[in-house]
Chain A
């Protein structure tokens, strides 16, 4: 079955560490996205990519980095510059102009 796989489901980070969240899709979608979800704030866009080797900042890109070396993969790195990284992170993909398919999310906690 086609879909989006996010891993890990739970991730713990020590302060000052960089961590990378994985997102893989086998839907042959061109566009991929990373959203951050905080309680009571809905989802906010971090980064998005519409084609391989190209990506754009979203509304809250500071402290995050991404790469898009393959169509299927769009990993997100949460750097030590992100001061409040504890949140639920959702990856999505779409055919441009159509609805999104979301992964099951990664819950990141700073310890």
Chain B
């Protein structure tokens, strides 16, 4: 069974602070994909990153960075020097390997509020 846990329901930070959003997953598959999506107030989910389970390299994209640790089944997301525009709900998701069912299993999301 697949499960994604985002224990942080809501986080508030002051602008320019760094913030880390936690994601822990469960799966019996040896191959899988992990994702992060951003949902701004408009409602649309915006793709941020996809990571293959074989690739444990950390990734940095501008102010965003991701720490994937297979040993602890975690895929945490850090925003450096947060900005008001980062305020949104962030979802972590897990996708099983391509076996015919290519579904995303979502966590419950973390609502980030960046205070100016």
Binding site for B on A (CB under 8 A): 31, 33, 35, 40-45, 48, 50, 56, 58, 88, 90, 92, 94, 96-105, 107
Stretch from B57-65, B75-83, B101-109 forming part of the interface with A: B101-109
- Which of B9, B50, B98, B107 is within 8 Å of A96, CB to CB? B98
- Which of B44, B101, B103, B107 is within 8 Å of A102, CB to CB? B44
CA–CA, A103 and B39, complex, Å = 11
Residue numbers in B under 8 Å from A97 (CB-CB): 98, 102
B103, A45: Cβ atoms closer than 8 Å:
yes
- Which of B35, B44, B47, B108 is within 8 Å of A105, CB to CB? B44
B9, A42: Cβ atoms closer than 8 Å:
no
B102, A56: Cβ atoms closer than 8 Å:
no
Interface of B is mostly: loop
A-B pairs with lowest CB-CB distance, top 10: A102-B45, A105-B43, A42-B106, A42-B108, A104-B44, A43-B106, A97-B98, A99-B50, A96-B102, A99-B47
Q: Does B116 contact A (CB under 8 A)?
A: no
Q: Does B68 contact A (CB under 8 A)?
A: no
Most chain A CB within a 10 A radius of its CB, from B9, B98, B102, B106 = B102
B43, A101: Cβ atoms closer than 8 Å:
no
A48, B108: Cβ atoms closer than 8 Å:
no
Residue numbers in A under 8 Å from B102 (CB-CB): 31, 48, 50, 94, 96-97
CA–CA, A48 and B105, complex, Å = 13
CA–CA, A25 and B103, complex, Å = 18
CA–CA, A78 and B100, complex, Å = 26
Tell me, rounded to whole Å, the shortest Cβ–Cβ distance linking A11 to chain B: 13
Q: Does B30 contact A (CB under 8 A)?
A: no
Residue numbers in B under 8 Å from A102 (CB-CB): 37, 44-46
17 contacts between A and B (CB under 8 A): A33-B104, A42-B107, A42-B108, A42-B109, A43-B91, A48-B102, A48-B103, A50-B102, A92-B45, A94-B102, A97-B102, A99-B47, A100-B47, A102-B44, A102-B45, A104-B43, A105-B44
